[in-house]
Amino acid sequence: MPSKTKRAPRVKPDLYQVITNKVIELLEAGTVPWQRPWNQYGLARNYATGHVYTGINAFLLNFFPNFDVPFYLTYKQAQALGGQVRKGAKAETVYFFKTLYKNVDGKILKAAELAKLKESSPSGGWGAAIPMPRTFHLFNIADIDGINFEIPELKENPSAPIEACDNFVASFPLWGPGGLEIRHDDLNHAFYTPKADRINMPPLPRFHSPEAYYKTLFHETIHSTGHASRLSRPGITLPKEQRKPGSETHAQEELIAELGAVYLCQHAGITVAPPLGAGGLENAAAYIDSYLQLLKNDKRFLFQASSQAQKAVNFLLEVPT
């Protein structure tokens, strides 16, 4: 009797590496994904539930697909609404993290074991928590037939975004006695000083547009959320010599600020421009090499930075996390 040929075990793709390679490829081709124009309809969201995708999923859905409307459904959601995904449509892969627990012997706890532990120790201490990435797939509504999708009317961009952005910035929980301060001492450079808890911004006329001014202000404001009294990020709290330009800590903090600023621009309703300082391009090209180096050395770098950027935005918008 002929022996059966054994199939090679299926190797699961490394989800961290897949996404990281995708971003590396774009950066090496000279494309910075988070500098692409935003969709006029706003942030990517689930059409059925209204859920706005955050963290790494916000990064993937807002910066990569090229659809007119950023609304998505799962295959089952489309069917439940009476629709059908078009044959050949490409799904967008998004991620969630399932937390597993290991006991003191390093063994993954089964669901029943974990349930008993939670019952006996409701306050925690169930073992070492391990976040494990899982995937699911979404389809843009442009690839779904049979549903009469109701698309909201586009809001006109305000002719004078200054007042709208001023009101948006004023809503941040940073101001007041002993809080963050904005000055205009240095006319040529925008920066955040952790020791003084102060942002310096060149005056608005030094920028080529109000949008460029506020994009830069949002970038520095995201930096300020890393202050020890707020979210306490290493890129802000470590001694200066440990977070100097060229270091991994500095590069990660810059990416956090860039992603966070882009998200804030969308919340404020302004068009995202490249990170312009007074007098021209200052930040974008300078950090690409350091981003590439970190991405090649650490496949979790992008996930961590996008997560921290989302936490910073949530802090400013006072969204519970």
What residue spans define the domains of the chain?
A: 42-145, 162-317
Q: Which residues pair with 203 in a beta bridge?
A: none
Which pLDDT does position 281 carry in this prediction?
A: 42
Beta-carbon count within 10 A of 225 CB: 26
| Tokens representing residue 166 in the block | 């001023």
Which pLDDT does position 277 carry in this prediction?
A: 39
Which parts of the chain register pLDDT below 70? 1-13, 37-38, 104, 122-127, 155-161, 272-287, 321
Residue range 141-179, pLDDT digits in tens:
999 999 999 998 876 655 566 777 888 888 898 887 788
| CB neighbour class for 122 (10 Å; exposed up to 12, middle 13-18, buried from 19) | exposed
Which pLDDT does position 2 carry in this prediction?
A: 54
| Tokens representing residue 283 in the block | 């930040």
Which pLDDT does position 197 carry in this prediction?
A: 94
DSSP assignments along 158-216, one per residue: PS-HHHHHHHHHHTSTT-STTS-EEE---SS--EEETTTTEEE---GGGSSSHHHHHHH
Instruction: Decide: helix, strand or coil at residue 281.
Output: strand
- Sequence-distant (6+) residues with CB within 8 A of 166 are none
